[in-house]
Chain A
């Protein structure tokens, strides 16, 4: 079976963040015969995401081996020789032997077992989904709270945002095609939408503090954000025109700046 080894090896050696590194002794893993004395072979291990690489030494220019950490469990183990601080990566697959590893001390053993058991893409995805729904809940309850507290105010304008929160194409899509990663999203949120907007006494004025977006809709979807701010601007335009004494009959509510 083919694998893009060159790209993977490049990733292993790149400056991408390593989640765990350290020396471990290894036995009986594929291609790693136990040494005669049974103490295992000492290698430098690097965990990046769900990929566990081993190297001959810290300075090696090529990984010795790779274990893809999906569909496996990690547990404390008894080494072939009475060996302390050993643990095993076990795959639920026929004919696949567990990878036996041993750390130099208890702290390292615990750290590795923890890191490896949470290394899978599947685990990350579970956590991300959970956080996604927590964020939605937090936004909705905050928006409802604000709405309730401002119902008495004459200038109250219920944000249209909740309509944009219903599960749709944005769910699960953190960065839609026309959006850039985190730093740019935050830039967009904090960009001032106009000096004059501070005179508007609605919920939007609270959002114009730089870098804060407590009640805006999904900041991950720029078009939603744009529409939402656009409504406030439309309202302002309307008021300015009213003050100027112009007739409102021809004014289109759909206008966007």
Chain B
């Protein structure tokens, strides 16, 4: 699958949600490397976070794995429990699916309370992606990424 590396590098230079230097180990053996400092080198890599699972890992770190292969983990080492918690929280909310669910939730709450559809002012009230039934029907996949922590 081709992708435009220059575009992703440009994206990496945009203001970051969070930035930190952390030890990282990819799923393949011997692929340990240090995450690059944000203002210096080119990014070593990118992880697109859809359908991923972020869980704490002992000691003092966390891992990201993806729906299609939950045992294949990208491991990260944090320098403190605080940093670990912050990153786990931020990463869990970083998916587009999470944003979409939040939007649908707020839309419905506001509709219930005020009787008005708040998306009308944006001109996006008819878009299929913001309808309640646009969420994946498969209960399992709908929960992955936000609920896996409760399964642990």
Contact = CB atoms under 8 A, between A and B. Distances in A.
Interface of A: 1-11, 14-17, 19, 29-31, 48-51, 62-68, 70-72, 91-96, 115, 118, 121, 124-125, 127-128, 130-132, 134-135, 138-139, 142, 172-175, 177-178, 180-182, 185, 212, 214, 219-220
Contacts of A10: 51, 66-68
A30 B146 CA distance: 35
Contacts of B103: 124, 127-128, 131
Interface residues on chain B, size class: 35 or more
Interface of B: 1-11, 14, 42-48, 50-52, 66-69, 74, 89, 93, 96-107, 109-110, 112-114, 118-119, 122, 124, 127-129, 134-136, 138, 141-143, 146-147, 149-150
Contact of A7 (B68, B113, B122, B142): B68
B113 A138 contact: yes
A138 B1 contact: no
What does DSSP make chain B's interface, helix, strand, loop or mixed? helix
Contact of B104 (A9, A139, A182): A182
B96 A49 contact: yes
A7 B48 contact: yes
Contacts of A219: 109
Contact of A1 (B9, B68, B89, B147): B9
A68 B7 contact: yes
A61 B7 CA distance: 25
